[in-house]
Structure 1
Amino acid sequence: MNPSIKFILVFIISLEISLKASLTTNSIVIVCALLYLLWHKISLKDLGLLLTVPLIAAFTIFATLYWFSTKPDHYYAWVLASRVYAYVLSIACVVKTTIAAQLARSFEQNLHLPSKFAYGALAALNIIPRMQMAVKRIRTAAMMRSVYLSFWSPILYFKAILVALSSSENLAQGMESHGYVEGKERSAIIKIPLTSNDWCIFVLILFLFNICLFIFR
């Protein structure tokens, strides 16, 4: 499915389940999301994290509404707890099956997002590994001078900001040297097609979801 359509579908589903309480629909979304992730061969480690990390938030919500409320509501407690997993797993269907570069290119080509935002997002994502390596080099250089820079040290972040500013200037010069001009139309090396099949799947899934949402409790 087209990345933009997939993102919009997950956004609409998340918005609708937040407006209407339906434990059955939440369960269906969770099961379908798990099957989709397994179909795309998600690793057991990532799947385990997706199931265990939201457990704290889901359990807290359930305990607050069921055990610590003046008027315990068993059903509504399960609804809100299941929403946590529905949100996390549905978003994981986009994150775990779509490359960030594909999503940014799809936003630019299919949703007509300005190129400066698309390229800016790609630049920010691509610079993260470089910043991680820069922070490691800064800490290593400091340790060679018998200075330990902790995670919350302002000196570490000040030096990291200087590295980021230098990298941003190099990136801007590189984009200009490759012919990037803000506001001008650009040709796409990698096309992200938006076909009629994508729209058919989008409408079908949304139609079936709304039937479940307004029929089942």
Structure 2
Amino acid sequence: MNPSFKFILALIISLEISLKISLSTNFAIIILAIIYLLIKRIKLKNLLILLLVPFIAAFTIFATLEWFTPTPNLFNALGLSSRIYVYILTISCVTINTNAEELARSFEQNFHLPSKFAYGVLAALNIVPRMKQAVKQIRTAGMMRGVYLSFWSPVLYFKAILVALNSAENLAQGMESHGYQEDAHRSVIIAVPVRARDWVWSAIILIALNLALFILK
């Protein structure tokens, strides 16, 4: 499915389940999302992380509504806490076989997102590994001089910001040297088409979701 369609579907699903409590619908989405992830051959370790990490937030919501309220309601407690897993698993279905570059290209071509935002997002994502390496180098250089820069040290982050500004300036100059112009029409190197099946599957999923929300409890 088209990356933009998958993202919009995940967003609509998250918004709709937040408007109405439907425990059966939440569990159905969770089961279908897990099946989809297994079909896409997600690693068992990653799946366990997806199920265990949100448990703290889900359990906190459940405990608050079930044990620490004057009028506990098991249905509402389970419905609201299960939403956490719906949010996590639906966005995982989007990202499991779609990287940031594909999503940015899809937004630019299909939803006409300005190229400066698309390229800005890609630049920010690509600069993260460089920033991690820069932070390691800064800490190593400090230790060689007998200065320990802790994780919360303002000196460390000040120097990291200087490195980021320098990298941003080099990136801007590099894009301009390759002929990038903000408002100029750009050709498409890698096309991300919208197919008929994208519309069909999106319609089927949304119809099934709304029927489940209004029929199931």
TM-score range relative to shorter protein? over 0.9
Q: Please name the residue that 2:20 is paired with.
A: 20
Q: Please name the residue that 1:105 is paired with.
A: 105
**Distance between the aligned counterparts of 2:178 and 2:213, measured in 1?**
49
- Which of structure 1's runs of 4+ aligned residues deviate more than 4 A? none
What number of residue pairs does the alignment pair up? Answer: 217
Q: Please name the residue that 1:58 is paired with.
A: 58
Query: Map of 1:38-57 to 2, 5 A cutoff?
Result: 38-57=38-57
Q: Please name the residue that 2:29 is paired with.
A: 29
| SS in structure 1 at match of 2:53 | helix
**Distance between the aligned counterparts of 1:119 and 1:191, measured in 2?**
16
- Aligned-residue offset at 1:97: 2.2
Q: Please name the residue that 1:176 is paired with.
A: 176
Query: Map of 1:182-197 to 2, 5 A cutoff?
Result: 182-197=182-197
RMSD: 0.7
- Aligned-residue offset at 1:185: 1.3
Deviations along 1:21-49, whole A, 9 cap, x unmatched? 10000001101111111111111121111
**Distance between the aligned counterparts of 2:97 and 2:14, measured in 1?**
18
Deviations along 1:41-96, whole A, 9 cap, x unmatched? 11112111100110001000000000111000010000001111011111111122
**Distance between the aligned counterparts of 1:33 and 1:164, measured in 2?**
38
Q: Please name the residue that 2:115 is paired with.
A: 115
**Distance between the aligned counterparts of 1:147 and 1:96, measured in 2?**
42
| SS in structure 2 at match of 1:159 | helix
**Distance between the aligned counterparts of 2:41 and 2:145, measured in 1?**
47
**Distance between the aligned counterparts of 1:134 and 1:101, measured in 2?**
23
| SS in structure 2 at match of 1:175 | helix
Q: Please name the residue that 1:164 is paired with.
A: 164
**Distance between the aligned counterparts of 1:148 and 1:46, measured in 2?**
34
**Distance between the aligned counterparts of 1:98 and 1:30, measured in 2?**
20
Q: Please name the residue that 1:130 is paired with.
A: 130
TM-score by length of 2: 0.99
- Give the letter aligned to residue 39 of structure 1: I
| SS in structure 1 at match of 2:54 | helix
Deviations along 1:168-207, whole A, 9 cap, x unmatched? 0100011111111001111111111111111111101111
Query: Map of 1:131-146 to 2, 5 A cutoff?
Result: 131-146=131-146
TM-score by length of 1: 0.99
Deviations along 1:98-155, whole A, 9 cap, x unmatched? 1100000000000000000000000000000000000000001111111110000000
| SS in structure 2 at match of 1:209 | helix
Q: Which runs of 5+ in 2 are unaligned?
A: none
Q: Which runs of 5+ in 1 are unaligned?
A: none
Q: Quick check: 152-161 or 86-95, which moved more?
A: 86-95
**Distance between the aligned counterparts of 2:190 and 2:2, measured in 1?**
13
Q: Please name the residue that 2:68 is paired with.
A: 68
Q: Please name the residue that 1:92 is paired with.
A: 92
- Give the letter aligned to residue 99 of structure 1: N
